[in-house]
């Protein structure tokens, strides 16, 4: 079983996911001049939507619910909190 | 085998309708990451059912069943019996249940499974009320906490699940918290490797039911452990071992004041809560010393 295959017991078209990004009123944005890459935000994000790419910590905003845990737990206050324009 | 519709790491998809900052979401992703795909999951009704479901809404990429509030441990026992007859000794049968499904409605089936020492891993995520149906008080709701069935604050304290479990003499039981994910993962891993009935009791902050901002989930869990309101411990081979010591034992006011559910519990109830916490902790310390002799 690789990363994009899995067993399901129900459903013709596979599993159904909600666009939870629509719930956000604020979005997290990493200020790379402050981020030290410690990974604390990655550890505590309940959605696991924070990952590493090209040696940097990146937030995948396609599902991020905007809970603010990453921002609260970041020891360097490196996550800015941007109001979503809706 | 089906292609996944959206990329997500691990055994749980993205796009699950649990609230922003929900403790269950952090717990279930970590638990399943440790247990791996050779796992069958039993989930009763409750907020965790947002992850299991039956149909394409299921967010967990594993075989499993959504049962009833009364019988998670019984269903898990049946699946374990099936595996036993097939000679399957490797698949983990995991029940993942709320506090209402554990300390109230499903307690008798859990007690039976513990008595028979069924080969199951029973995990109770404890958000300290019946959250999914609108925050009714459970017997895990702490003293003074306001719920829709205890609007003026719960007049009595909570049942002590870990001691109920210990009284059954199971091979392994532990408490854990999202405040220390390394410790939580270590305990899940350890439980996975043991045969027989294993029980994990995990503190699960719930922004919606406890009344705090979703960003404070980890901070709340940490305050719970620091004040002794949630005690980290393990029970193995009849011995109690306490985990991280509370740094401000008996100062639950710092933990309580962060949550709207305790707004009615000022004054006398805070003092009573602190007394309860201190006497429980001292008792557990005695048990730990007994085990060391
Ligand atoms: C016997 C029975 N009573 C009531 C219900 C309705 N019900 C469905 S989910 C739920 C809440 C379960 O609470 P808990 O186990 O604490 O999980 P949580 O919702 O807090 O995650 C209730 C009462 C039910 N399904 N079965
Ligand atoms: S917690 Fe803060 S400093 Fe650490 S990786 Fe995340 S953004 Fe960077
Ligand atoms: S705001 Fe919440 S969901 Fe979004 S990246 Fe941060 S921790 Fe994850
Ligand atoms: S009500 Fe609480 S436990 Fe249920 S999904 Fe929301 S935050 Fe999670």
Distance CA A23, CA A64 (A): 9
Which 8-state DSSP code applies to residue B6?
A: S
Judge whether residue A14 has pLDDT over 80.
Answer: no
CATH number at residue B51: 3.40.50.970
Tell me the H-state helices in chain A: 40-44, 69-73
Complex confidence, ipTM: 0.92
Q: How far is CA B167 from the centre of its chain?
A: 18
Residue A24, in any domain of the structure: no
What is the number of domains present in chain B?
A: 1
Asked whether the CA dihedral A3, A10, B133, B77 is positive or negative, the reply is: negative
Helix axes B23-35, B181-192, angle to 10 degrees: 40
**Is ligand 2 within 6 A of the CB of residue A69?**
no
Q: In terms of CA atoms, which chain B residue is nearest residue A71?
A: B215
The rounded mean pLDDT for chain B is 93
* B128 touches B99 (CB < 8 A): yes
Residues of the domain holding B234: 2-289
Judge whether residue A4 has pLDDT over 80.
Answer: no
What's the confidence (pLDDT) of residue A78? Answer: 98
Instruction: For strands B239-242 and B198-203, give the pairing.
Output: unpaired
Distance CA A64, CA B99 (A): 27
Residue A14, in any domain of the structure: no
Residue A69, in any domain of the structure: yes
Residue A11, in any domain of the structure: no
Interchain contact A58–B (C-beta under 8 A): no
What's the confidence (pLDDT) of residue B53? Answer: 64
| A23: enclosing H helix or E strand | none
What's the confidence (pLDDT) of residue B4? Answer: 36
Residues of the domain holding A77: 35-83
Residue A27, in any domain of the structure: no
Give CB contacts under 8 A, 24+ apart, made by A54-58.
A56/A32, A57/A30, A58/A30
pLDDT in tens, B72-122: 999 999 999 999 999 999 999 999 999 999 999 999 999 999 999 999 999
Q: Which of B47, B100, B94 is nearest to B75 (CA)?
A: B94
pTM score, whole prediction: 0.94
The total of other beta-carbon atoms located within 10 Å of residue B38's CB is 11
Residue A76, in any domain of the structure: yes
What's the confidence (pLDDT) of residue A11? Answer: 39
Can you tell me which atom of ligand 4 is nearest the CA of B214? 7
Interchain contact A26–B (C-beta under 8 A): no
CB distance B61–A72 less than 8 Å?
no
Backbone φ, ψ for residue A32 (5° rounding): -70, -10
- Confidence category of residue A5, pLDDT binned at 50, 70, 90: very low
Interchain contact B39–A (C-beta under 8 A): no
* Chain B residues 176-205 with a CB less than 8 Å from chain A: 178, 181
CATH number at residue A59: 3.30.70.20
Tell me the percentage of chain A whose pLDDT exceeds 70. Answer: 80
Q: Which of B99, B29, B256, B227 is nearest to A42 (CA)?
A: B29
Residues of chain B with pLDDT under 50: 1-7
What is the number of domains present in chain A?
A: 1
Which 8-state DSSP code applies to residue B257?
A: T
CB distance A49–B14 less than 8 Å?
yes
């Amino acid at each position: 079983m690789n990363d994009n295959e899995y067993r399901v017991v129900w459903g013709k078209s596979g599993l159904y996911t909600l666009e939870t990004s629509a719930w956000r009123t604020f979005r997290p944005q990493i200020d790379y001049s402050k981020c030290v890459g410690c990974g604390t935000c990655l550890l505590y994000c309940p959605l696991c939507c924070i990952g590493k790419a090209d040696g940097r910590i990146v937030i995948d905003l396609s599902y991020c619910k905007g809970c603010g845990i990453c921002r609260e737990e970041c020891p360097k206050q490196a996550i800015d909190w941007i109001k979503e324009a809706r | 085998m089906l292609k996944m519709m959206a990329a997500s790491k691990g055994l749980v998809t993205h796009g699950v309708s649990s609230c922003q900052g929900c403790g269950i979401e952090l717990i279930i992703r970590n638990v399943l990451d440790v247990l791996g795909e050779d796992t069958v999951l039993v989930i009763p009704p409750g907020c965790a059912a947002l992850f299991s479901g039956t149909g394409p809404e299921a967010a967990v990429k594993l075989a499993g069943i959504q049962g009833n509030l009364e019988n998670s441990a019984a269903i898990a026992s049946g699946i374990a019996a099936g595996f036993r007859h097939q000679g399957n000794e490797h698949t983990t049968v995991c029940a993942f249940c709320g506090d209402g499904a554990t300390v109230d409605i499903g307690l008798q089936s859990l007690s039976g499974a513990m008595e028979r020492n069924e080969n199951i891993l029973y995990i109770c995520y404890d958000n300290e009320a019946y959250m999914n149906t609108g925050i009714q008080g459970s017997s895990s709701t702490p003293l003074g906490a306001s719920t829709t069935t205890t609007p003026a604050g719960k007049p009595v304290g909570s049942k002590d699940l870990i001691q109920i479990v210990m009284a059954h003499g199971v091979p392994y039981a532990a408490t854990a918290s999202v405040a220390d994910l390394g410790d939580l993962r270590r305990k899940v891993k350890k439980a996975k490797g043991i045969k027989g009935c294993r029980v994990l009791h995990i503190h699960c902050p719930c922004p919606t039911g406890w009344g705090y901002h979703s960003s404070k989930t980890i901070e709340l869990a940490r305050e719970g452990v620091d004040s002794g309101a949630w005690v980290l411990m393990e029970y193995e081979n009849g011995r109690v071992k306490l985990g991280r010591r509370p740094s401000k034992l008996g100062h639950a006011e710092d933990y309580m004041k962060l949550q709207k559910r305790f707004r009615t519990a000022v004054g006398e109830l805070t003092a009573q809560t602190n007394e309860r916490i201190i006497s429980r902790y001292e008792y557990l310390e005695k048990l730990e010393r007994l085990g060391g002799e």
